[in-house]
Structure 1
Amino acid sequence: MHEEEKKTKSTVPYDEDNYTHNIRKDNERKLDRRSFLKTMVGAAGVFAVSTLPWGTIAAKHLINPSKRTYPVSKIADLDLMKVGDAVEFAYPGEHDSALLVCLSDNEFKAYHNACTHLKCPVFWSKEKEELVCPCHHGLFDVRTGKPTAGPPKRPLPEIELSVEKGSVYATGVKKYEAQL
């Protein structure tokens, strides 16, 4: 009897020829390594294909930057602007905030008012006669848009202006030229 007990304890209770009798085999591997890699390669392919339209648009702007056209937009009337005043406006799109500053009777400068450091809003300080970014104490020269203090390294994007029929108009955005 002792011999029979040893035999029953050491034998597989089911009639199977492998040692995995205690594992449930239904849906054992829904996603094995090979399936996982196929899924990842497929996802990478979808991602790569989905970025192609944006790459095409960027390439067009890099190849032919002069062909980009901007709308002409009225900013302010001359009779309402005094020397040292600033007017906030949207240009070239409705979500692109910009700032027009009256420097003298017929001299105006306009810049996008998002700091080139971390896109914080830039404000006009009439007392200091400079553009100020309060986030990290960035300062910009109002005549050139170049940073004079703080962490910004690039100048503010300048908006091209024209004065016609008693009003100031935005006509374009100057292309940024990196200086080496």
Structure 2
Amino acid sequence: MSAAQEHRIVERRTVVLAVGAVGAAAALTACGGSDEAGGGSGGTGGTDPVEQPGSGGAGGAVLAKTADIPEGGGLVFAAQKVVVTQPTAGEFKAFSATCTHQGCAVKDITNNVITCPCHNSTFDAATGSPTGGPATQPLPARQISVEGGAITLA
């Protein structure tokens, strides 16, 4: 075998290994690596992630206006990893937007149910408690402040 042929074999092998590693990393990122809470993004109603003005990430930043949160629904704020819901008129709740099953970001909030798209775990929008598997732990509550029609992280 010539030196040029050996070089091509090494290059091909290196490419195949690199592509395999990237694929494995993508698969782990999609579902998280453990049952602990991790990072993620989210959206509402099965749409792309929601970007809201004034969503800077620090406590005290305005997440949304109360009028932006639909009754029986909610919004996911990907940058803050928080989901804000309105289970009943005028009642606002906030939870971690990271599914307790394998760390995916919850996405859909409809009919007072928060859904994780990765394995279809569901959570009660008023309590964060799991209502359908495979998640068995509730979404951790997050502290918010609702004043003057604005919702902020506390």
Equivalent in the alignment of 2:105 = 121
Matched, 1:99 2:83: yes
Q: In the aligned structure 1, how far is the partner of 2:109 from the partner of 2:145?
A: 24
Matched, 1:108 2:92: yes
From the CA coordinates, give the structure whose radius of gyration is larger.
1
Equivalent in the alignment of 1:168 = 151
- TM-score norm. by structure 2 comes to 0.55
SS of residue paired to 2:64:
strand
CA shift in 2, pair 1:135/1:105, >3 Å:
same
Identify the match of residue 157 of structure 1 among 127, 131, 140: 140
CA shift in 2, pair 1:145/1:79, >3 Å:
closer
Superposition pairs for residues 81-92 of structure 1, below 5 Å? Answer: 81-90=69-78
Q: In the aligned structure 1, how far is the partner of 2:126 from the partner of 2:73?
A: 14
User: Whose RCO is larger (CA < 8 A, sep 6+)?
Assistant: 2
Q: How many residues align?
A: 97
Identify the match of residue 129 of structure 2 among 136, 146, 164: 146
- TM-score norm. by structure 1 comes to 0.48
SS of residue paired to 1:159:
coil
Please give the per-residue CA displacement for 1:156-177, whole angstroms capped at 9, x wherever unaligned. 1111122112211211xxxxxx
Q: In the aligned structure 2, how far is the partner of 1:148 from the partner of 1:85?
A: 16
How far the C-alpha of 1:85 sits from its partner, in A, is: 4.1
Equivalent in the alignment of 2:115 = 132
The aligned amino acid for 1:154 is Q
Output the aligned Cα RMSD. 2.0
The aligned amino acid for 2:133 is G
Equivalent in the alignment of 1:20 = none
Please give the per-residue CA displacement for 1:41-77, whole angstroms capped at 9, x wherever unaligned. xxxxxxxxxxxxxxxxxxxxxxxxxxxxx72221111
Superposition pairs for residues 25-40 of structure 1, below 5 Å? Answer: none
CA shift in 2, pair 1:79/1:130, >3 Å:
closer
Q: In the aligned structure 2, how far is the partner of 1:153 from the partner of 1:140?
A: 10
CA shift in 2, pair 1:150/1:162, >3 Å:
same
The aligned amino acid for 1:113 is A
Equivalent in the alignment of 1:27 = none
The aligned amino acid for 1:147 is P
